[in-house]
């Protein structure tokens, strides 16, 4: 069995996700998460706006052939205007990457955020101090 993953995200990135979800409410927001996995920790370092963003349709309009060919994408994040941060069956069946992050209404902070692996198991979320990533 693989050890449970931890997902770490800088606070400013999380704030950006929450602000975007608030802005689109009551529609769903959807973004790709870019990052790296090392030693059981997935570090999210960037957000990528979906080129086909079909807000309000949720995953029903999700087509994998439209995805960018970018292997640094570790997963996705979307909002649940209902406030329930559990993934739906559709969320888990249409996963892209290793993780699915869900932000629930009212999008007020990390207590409104949950992250899951492809089996639907809840992962640890670690919010780190905002820091500039190395420009390499
Ligand atoms: Zn969902």
Dist CA 29 CA 23 (whole Å): 9
- List, in order, residues 6 or more apart from 109 with CB less than 8 Å away: 18
With tokens 């990457």, the residue in question is: 97
CA nearest neighbour of 86 among 59, 55, 120, 118:
120
pLDDT digits (tens, 9 = 90+) for 26-62: 999 889 999 999 999 999 999 988 765 554 444 444 5
CA of 104 to the centre of ligand 1 (A): 10
pLDDT over 60 at 120, yes or no: yes
Q: What is the pLDDT of residue 56?
A: 47
Mean pLDDT across 9-30: 94
CA of 19 to the centre of ligand 1 (A): 18
CA of 2 to the centre of ligand 1 (A): 25
CA of 77 to the centre of ligand 1 (A): 9
Give pTM, 2 decimals. Answer: 0.83
pLDDT digits (tens, 9 = 90+) for 62-106: 555 555 556 688 999 999 999 999 999 989 988 888 999 999 999
- List, in order, residues 6 or more apart from 50 with CB less than 8 Å away: 30, 31, 32
CA of 8 to the centre of ligand 1 (A): 20
Dist CA 124 CA 10 (whole Å): 14
CA of 101 to the centre of ligand 1 (A): 9
């Amino acid at each position: 069995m693989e050890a449970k993953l931890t997902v770490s995200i800088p606070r400013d990135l999380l704030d950006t996700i929450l602000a975007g979800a608030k802005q689109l409410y009551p529609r769903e927001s959807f973004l790709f998460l870019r990052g790296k996995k090392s030693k059981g920790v997935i570090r999210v370092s960037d957000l990528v706006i979906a080129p086909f963003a079909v807000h309000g349709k949720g995953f029903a309009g999700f087509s994998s052939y439209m995805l960018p060919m970018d292997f640094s994408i570790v997963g996705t994040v979307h909002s649940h205007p209902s406030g329930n941060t559990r993934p739906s069956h559709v969320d888990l069946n249409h996963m892209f990457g290793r993780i699915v992050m869900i932000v629930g209404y009212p999008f007020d902070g990390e207590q409104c955020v949950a992250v899951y692996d492809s089996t639907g198991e809840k992962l640890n979320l670690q919010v780190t101090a905002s820091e500039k990533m190395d420009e390499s």
